[in-house]
Chain A
Amino acid sequence: EVQLVESGGGLIQPGGSLRLSCAASGFSVSSNYMSWVRQAPGKGLEWVSVIYSAGSTYYADSVKGRFTISRDNSKNTLYLQMNSLRAEDTAVYYCARVDRDGYNFDYWGQGTLVTVSS
């Protein structure tokens, strides 16, 4: 059974850093495209980043240069390193697996809340 479990969220001051983790089971993160999607409180979904099986990474303009997506194949875990955090980064962050076709998010974690506030 495919499962994704995020962790690492919390309250952080503006300008601070946080690393989110997404532990996967039932499949290999190294063999799949993996993505982060966020949702600000009461707002819609926003795509954040993707890492391809070959290792290339891509980001939304809103986080480019501040966030870094990575994975640890030995731990079957996806990460999102978030630096220079802003109030507008406050959101529930979901990790999602991209399906075999390469364009659709077929499994999602339960999300982890990041609150950026002083």
Chain B
Amino acid sequence: QSALTQPASVSGSPGQSITISCTGTSSDVGSYNLVSWYQQYPGKAPKLMIYEGSKRPSGVSNRFSGSKSGNTASLTISGLQAEDEADYYCCSYAGSSTWVFGGGTKLTVL
């Protein structure tokens, strides 16, 4: 299983919106509506932000939203805040009880 493809970095100014893409294949992202997104601060454990493509766990800001089209999933953060600066990882169920993560995207809030 090859890792999902994410941009290495994205940036935006406070108040703006950014979108992080996550490209897989017809065997993972394209086959299942089971993409999740994780936020990770340096030295900390990942935190679930979006699951099953577009659902938000309780307690996660509605500034975070997810979508999918074909083999590509996307995470959008609106109203960017300084606290959003972190690494973001997508993850897709890949069938046969396996999962695949993306390489991660470093978000910088300018």
Contact = CB atoms under 8 A, between A and B. Distances in A.
Given A103-B36, A105-B91, A47 B99 contact: yes
A47 B98 contact: yes
Contacts, number: 66
Interface residues of B, number: 27
B48 interface: yes
Interface residues of A, number: 23
A110 B51 CA distance: 21
Interface in A8-64: 35, 37, 44-47, 50, 52, 56, 58, 60-61
A1 interface: no
A25 to B, nearest CB: 16
A111 B45 CA distance: 7
A44 B96 CA distance: 22
Interface of B: 1, 3, 32, 34, 36, 38, 40, 44-48, 51-52, 57, 89, 91, 93, 96-104
